[in-house]
């Protein structure tokens, strides 16, 4: 028998193995694909541009894994962790493992669900491949980063932390919002908004940060995941266009979801913004530059003019995000600095050189609004103290970030919005988060807000040590970097190496 | 607009006032000091006199900034509107602040 082409094999796999149920109503076989209001007339018009089959998929992934694990082994054997720019860099890795890796796992689970519950065999198989990708990313991230766990704090209990810790409720609640939506909203939220629209602002900063700071292992993981990510991006745009083309009635529903998930994703990325501008000893680019390149140039000027053809306009509230590019990273890192005694990573005052880099990168705002805060923190440090926020913060009901964002265009006034629903008040950090609440209040009144949960006695106790123990943290996981076990070990190992080198 | 679902979607709010008994959650913002990245959140009895609320909750928190002078706060307002007459020592409830409401001050 002649060998089949890849195209023929794909067609056999996704079409010939499928059948139309006749004993049972398809609406019972696929119960989730009608209630959201999205109309699909022809599932077969979905085309996976990659036409993956099981054998080709396994072959590519096995080759990539082989390369990655060879690098991880040699990195570990060669004490590669000592070649980082500084142990301080690992705070970015801690944030990634605690905040992003569990999302990969959640994505794995939900794409597995879609691989069963979408009506069309093409989309089902694409969802299956993505589900396996996400599981593989979870595993390779754990394996890549676990080698640092032998030497540094904050990496030992990331899974439990993701479910409990206050700043990790930001990514967790984001993804839970997607998982608890219907399949089409999930595809808009995760495949389109997260994997296409915003992905370069998430993935590139972490992986370039790794490469700039000597983290060869994480950089290699990035390369290994990159071809999957570009496949997910193509699918993300493909699935959006598929839904748009199926029925005109889908357009307003999808616009609404694009509006919601832009703001949800953008608020989540504020943690990445803080990481980029403050946690990397060697900077890649500023958040503002990344935002201008990846969001304004590539998406607003590239993608959205193309989507206009379908009747889709740029996301609601995007103009506020553009205004905030001058402030956001500073405000969110200041939140993390205020509360790092309750976090599983360290923060510290930027060095003089970094402060100058921040001034140069943010000429209109940094010296005026944020350098004075760091100067004051330095004064407190000079007199032997460390500024920590001695209390618990007000949280946004939707994004769950402490309400440290300011009024658009006014960086000195904290922005507070609120809504009343069934005689109870809810607070928000921004017009975007308030708009998201107001369209589905029944959903967000259930938010597990870490501060309110502590006050209801659900987090191990009333004192900070009780709560940190319940979070699964250990002494030294958080707090000031200058006084951290990570810094002490790093200095000691490098002093030993210097002494050894002199002999 | 409401949640689209395949079933009757109705769940109680996680932080509804009854979960806190005779207490409420109150937010306090030091409006002109951005050293504090956000307003603070406290759990306090509705019947707590203002003087106790300030001395037992606000002062220890605000003292995170070593420059804080407990005599300095002024211009107390509830939800950006009604002024609090701190001299009359009202209870929290009497200030008009509700569950998850916001009190601001300046120095």
Contact A263, A315 (CB under 8 A): yes
Q: Which residues contact A177 (CB under 8 A, 6 or more apart)?
A: A189, A264, A443
Task: Give the lowest-confidence range in A35-39, A364-368, B48-52, B81-85.
Answer: B81-85
- Taking contacts as CB-CB distances below 8 angstroms, the residues of chain A near B15 are 424, 449, 452, 456
pLDDT in tens, A54-113: 888 899 899 999 999 999 999 999 999 999 999 999 999 999 999 999 999 999 999 999
Mean pLDDT of A106-123: 95
| Residue B85 tokens, joined | 């007459």
> How far does the CA of residue A338 sit from the closest CA of chain B (Å)?
7
If one compares A19 and A110, the residue with the highest pLDDT of the two is A110
What is the pLDDT, as a whole number, of residue A503?
44
Q: What is the enclosing helix (H) or strand (E) of A469?
A: helix A464-471
CB contact under 8 A, B41 and A369: no
Residue among A403, A421, A425 minimizing CB distance to B39: A403
For residues A266 and A268, what is the distance between their CA atoms, to the nearest angstrom?
5
> How far does the CA of residue B17 sit from the closest CA of chain A (Å)?
8
Mean pLDDT of A376-402: 97
pLDDT in tens, A415-425: 999 999 999 99
What is the pLDDT, as a whole number, of residue A14?
81
* Residue percentage of chain B with pLDDT more than 70: 99
Angle between helices A169-179 and A101-117 (to 10 degrees): 0
Q: Domains in chain B, ordered, with CATH?
A: 17-106 (3.10.20.560)
Residue A2 pLDDT exceeds 80? no
For residues A226 and A53, what is the distance between their CA atoms, to the nearest angstrom?
19
pLDDT in tens, B58-86: 999 999 999 999 999 999 999 988 899 99
| Residue A463 tokens, joined | 């004192």
Interface test mutation site (partner A, options B10, B37, B53, B79, max chain A beta carbons within 10 A): B37
What is the pLDDT, as a whole number, of residue B1?
60
CB contact under 8 A, B27 and A391: no
Interface test mutation site (partner B, options A387, A438, A452, max chain B beta carbons within 10 A): A452
A331 and chain B: CB distance < 8 Å anywhere? yes
pLDDT in tens, A25-49: 999 999 999 999 999 999 988 877 7
Task: Give the lowest-confidence range in A118-127, A365-374, A475-484.
Answer: A118-127
Q: What is the enclosing helix (H) or strand (E) of B43?
A: strand B40-45
Locate the domains of chain A by residue range.
Answer: 6-502
What is the pLDDT, as a whole number, of residue A47?
78
Mean pLDDT across chain A:
94
What is the pLDDT, as a whole number, of residue A11?
84
What is the pLDDT, as a whole number, of residue B2?
82
For residues B6 and A32, what is the distance between their CA atoms, to the nearest angstrom?
8
Residue B13 pLDDT exceeds 70? yes
Exposed/middle/buried for residue A503 (C-beta within 10 Å: 0-12, 13-18, 19+): exposed
Mean pLDDT of A336-356: 97
- Taking contacts as CB-CB distances below 8 angstroms, the residues of chain B near A446 are 11, 13-14
Eight-class DSSP state of A355: H
Residue A396 pLDDT exceeds 90? yes
- The fold adopted by the segment(s) A6-502 is Ribonucleotide Reductase, subunit A (1.10.620)
Place of tokens 């002649």: A2
- Taking contacts as CB-CB distances below 8 angstroms, the residues of chain B near A391 are 40-42, 60-61, 64
Instruction: Give the residue from A334, A437, A439, A420 showing the smallest Cα distance to A377.
Output: A334
| Residue A156 tokens, joined | 């030992």
pLDDT in tens, A160-193: 999 999 999 999 999 999 999 999 999 999 999 9
pLDDT in tens, A403-452: 999 999 899 999 999 999 999 999 999 999 999 999 999 999 999 999 99
Q: How far does Cα A351 stand from its chain's mean position? A: 27
- Provide the Cα torsion A242, A244, A250, A256; round to 10°: 110
Exposed/middle/buried for residue A88 (C-beta within 10 Å: 0-12, 13-18, 19+): buried
ipTM reported for the complex surpasses 0.95: yes
* Residue percentage of chain A with pLDDT more than 70: 99
* pTM listed for this prediction: 0.96
């Amino acid at each position: 028998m002649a060998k089949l082409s890849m195209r023929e094999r794909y067609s056999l796999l996704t079409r010939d193995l499928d059948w139309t149920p006749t004993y049972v109503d398809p609406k019972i076989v696929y119960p989730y694909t009608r209630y959201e209001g999205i109309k699909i007339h022809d599932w077969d018009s979905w085309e996976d541009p990659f036409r993956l089959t099981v054998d080709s998929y396994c072959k590519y992934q096995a080759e990539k894994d082989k390369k990655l694990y060879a690098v991880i082994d040699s990195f570990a054997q060669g004490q590669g962790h000592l070649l980082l720019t500084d142990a301080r860099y690992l705070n970015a890795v801690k944030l990634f493992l605690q905040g992003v890796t569990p999302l990969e796992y959640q994505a794995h689970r939900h794409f597995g669900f879609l691989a069963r519950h979408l009506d069309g065999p093409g989309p089902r198989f694409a969802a299956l491949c993505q589900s396996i990708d996400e599981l593989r990313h979870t595993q390779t991230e754990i394996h890549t980063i676990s080698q640092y766990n032998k030497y540094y704090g904050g990496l030992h209990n990331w899974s439990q932390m993701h479910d409990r810790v206050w700043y990790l409720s930001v990514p967790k609640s984001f993804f839970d919002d997607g998982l608890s939506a219907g399949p089409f909203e999930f595809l808009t939220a995760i495949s389109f908004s997260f994997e296409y629209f915003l992905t370069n602002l998430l993935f590139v900063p972490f992986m370039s940060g790794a490469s700039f700071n000597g983290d060869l292992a994480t950089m290699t993981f990035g390369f290994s995941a990159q071809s999957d990510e570009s496949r997910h991006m193509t699918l993300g745009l493909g699935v959006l266009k598929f839904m748009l083309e199926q029925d005109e009635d889908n357009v307003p529903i999808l616009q609404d979801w694009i509006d919601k998930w832009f703001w949800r994703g953008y608020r989540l990325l504020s943690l990445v913004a803080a990481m980029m501008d403050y946690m990397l000893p060697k900077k890649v680019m500023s958040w503002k530059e990344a935002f201008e390149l990846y969001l304004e140039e590539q998406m607003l000027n590239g993608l959205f003019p193309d989507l206009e053809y379908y009747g889709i306009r740029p996301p609601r509230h995007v103009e506020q995000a553009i205004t905030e590019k001058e402030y956001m990273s500073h405000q969110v890192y200041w939140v993390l600095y205020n509360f790092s005694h309750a976090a599983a990573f360290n923060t510290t005052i930027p060095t003089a050189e970094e402060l100058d880099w921040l001034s140069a990168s943010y000429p209109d705002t940094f010296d005026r609004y944020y350098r004075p805060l760091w100067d004051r923190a330095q004064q407190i440090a000079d007199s032997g103290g460390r500024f920590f926020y001695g209390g618990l913060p007000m949280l946004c009901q939707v994004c769950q970030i402490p309400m440290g964002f300011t009024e658009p265009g006014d960086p000195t006034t904290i922005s507070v919005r609120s809504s009343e629903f069934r005689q109870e008040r809810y607070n928000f950090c921004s017009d975007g988060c308030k708009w998201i609440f107001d369209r589905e209040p029944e959903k967000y009144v259930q938010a597990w807000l870490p501060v309110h949960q502590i006050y209801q006695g659900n987090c191990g106790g009333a004192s900070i040590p009780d709560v940190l123990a319940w979070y699964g943290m250990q002494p030294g996981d958080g707090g000031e970097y200058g006084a951290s076990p990570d810094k002490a070990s790093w200095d000691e190992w490098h002093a030993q190496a210097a002494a050894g080198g002199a002999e | 607009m409401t949640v689209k679902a395949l079933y009757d979607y109705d769940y109680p709010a996680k932080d509804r006032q009854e979960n806190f008994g005779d207490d409420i959650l109150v937010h306090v913002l030091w409006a002109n000091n951005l050293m504090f990245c956000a307003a603070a959140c406290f759990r306090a009895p509705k019947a707590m006199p203002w003087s106790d609320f300030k001395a037992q909750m606000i002062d220890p928190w605000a003292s995170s900034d070593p420059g804080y002078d407990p005599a300095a706060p002024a211009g107390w307002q509830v939800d950006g509107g009604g002024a609090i007459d701190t001299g009359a020592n009202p209870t929290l409830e009497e200030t008009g602040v509700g569950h998850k409401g916001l009190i601001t001050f300046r120095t």
